Amino acid sequence: MKRTALITGASSGIGKACAFVLAKEGYRLILCARRTERLQELEETIKNEHPGTDVYTFTLDVRDAAAVQDAISALPEAWKNIDVLINNAGLSQGLDPIQAGKLSDWDTMIDTNVKGLLYVSRAVIPLLEKSSNAHIINIGSIAGKEVYPNGNVYCASKHAVDALNKAMRIDLLEKGIRVSAINPGMVETEFSEVRFHGDTERAKAVYKGVDALTGQDIAEVIAFVLSRRAHININDLLIMPTAQATGTIVNRK
Ligand code: NDP
Ligand code: 8X3
C-alpha cells in the first residue's frame, strides 16, 4: 500500500524538492503552504513528471492554529490516512544584533518555526497514530546546534525544534511513531531572500563561491531516512556542504 506524506512549506526549496523525490518513491502527497498558485503549479508538474501520483493541496498559514486544525479536520476521508509528516515550513527574518532586532521579525520566526510546527504536529499526530508505519521528520538546522552572530532568534527557534524533536520521540515512543531531525547547513533556496526581506543581491552573496546544498540533496536524505526498516529510527542528522565547517566558517572560492 502506498504511504501518504504531508509536507508543510511545499511551495519552495526543501519542501518542494521533498514532494518530487517522494512522488518518485511512490508516495501519495498532501502539500500545503501559503502560496496557492505555487501549489497548483507544483501539483500539475508532479503529475506530469510522475504520472499516477495522487496529490492533494491546500493553502495554509501554519501560524494560524484554528486554520491548521480546520484544514486537517476537513481533509477528505481518502486523505486522512497519513503515514509521514514533514514539518518543513519555516523561515528566518533579519540578521540583526539582539539589541536592534525587529519585534515583528522575532514574532514571525517564533510563530512559524516553533508554534506553527507545534500546531501542525498536534493536529496531525492523531491521524499518524492510525498508521502502522508513522514517521515525523522535523526540519531543524545547523542553527539549532550552534549560535552564530546575529542569528539570535532564528537560532533560538531552531534550538526549540531540536528540543521538540527529542520531546516528540519520548512522548510518541509507546505509539511506535518514528521521529527524526534533519538539520541542514547552507541550502540554496529562497531562504536568504526571505531572511533579507527580498534583497536578492544580499541573498545571492550568501551562496557566492560556495557549492551549497540543494533542496534535492536534503530531500534525498529524507527519503533515505524514511525508507529504513521499521525498527530503525535515525534520530538526528546534521548535513553540511563540504565547504562549510560551522554556521559561519565557510571556504569560499
Ligand atoms: P524556502 O524559503 O525556499 O521555503 C520555505 C517554505 O516554508 C516555503 O514553501 C514557504 O511557503 C513555507 N512557509 C513559510 N512560512 C510559512 C507559513 N507561515 N505557513 C506555511 N508555510 C510557510 O526555504 P527552505 O526550503 O530553505 O526552508 C525550509 C526549511 O528548512 C525551513 O524550516 C528552514 O528554516 C530550514 N532550513 C533551511 C536552510 C537553508 O540554508 N536554506 C538550512 C537549514 C534549515 P509559503 O511562503 O508559500 O507559505
Ligand atoms: C539555515 C542555515 O546557517 O543560515 O537554517 O542558519 S543558517
Q: pLDDT tens digits for 117-151?
A: 999 999 999 999 999 999 999 999 999 999 999 99
Question: Is 198 a member of any domain?
Answer: yes
Question: Is 246 a member of any domain?
Answer: no
Question: Is 245 a member of any domain?
Answer: no
The Å distance, Cα 184 to ligand 1 centre, comes to 12
**Is 158 an active-site residue?**
yes
pLDDT at 29: 98
Give me the amino acid identity at 213: L
pLDDT at 135: 98
H, E, C per residue of the chain: CCCEEEEECCCCHHHHHHHHHHHHCCCEEEEEECCHHHHHHHHHHHHHHCCCCCEEEEECCCCCHHHHHHHHHCCCHHHCCCCEEEECCCCCCCCCCHHHCCHHHHHHHHHHHHHHHHHHHHHHHHHHCCCCCCEEEEECCHHHCCCCCCCHHHHHHHHHHHHHHHHHHHHCHHHCCEEEEEEECCECCCHHHHHCCCCHHHHHHHHCCCCCECHHHHHHHHHHHHCCCCCCCCCEEEECCCCECCCCCECCC
Interface ipTM > 0.90? yes
Q: Among the options 130, 154, 166, 207, which is catalytic?
A: 154
Question: Is 248 a member of any domain?
Answer: no
Q: Among the options 2, 158, 166, 253, which is catalytic?
A: 158
**Is 154 an active-site residue?**
yes
pLDDT at 82: 98
Question: Is 37 a member of any domain?
Answer: yes
What CATH number corresponds to the domain at position 164? 3.40.50.720
pLDDT at 122: 98
Return the ligand 2 atom nearest residue 155 CA.
6
Q: Whose CA is nearest to atom 36 of ligand 1?
A: 141
pLDDT at 170: 98
Question: Is 28 a member of any domain?
Answer: yes
Question: Is 252 a member of any domain?
Answer: no
Least distant ligand from the CA of 140: 1
> Which bin fits 116, alpha (ψ -120 to 50), beta or left (φ > 0)?
alpha
pLDDT at 27: 98
pTM: 0.99
| Number of folded domains that form the chain | 1
* Half-sphere CA count of 112, side-chain side, radius 13 A: 22
Stretches in the chain below the pLDDT threshold 50: none
- Structural domain that includes position 32: 4-239
The Å distance, Cα 216 to ligand 1 centre, comes to 14
Question: Is 42 a member of any domain?
Answer: yes
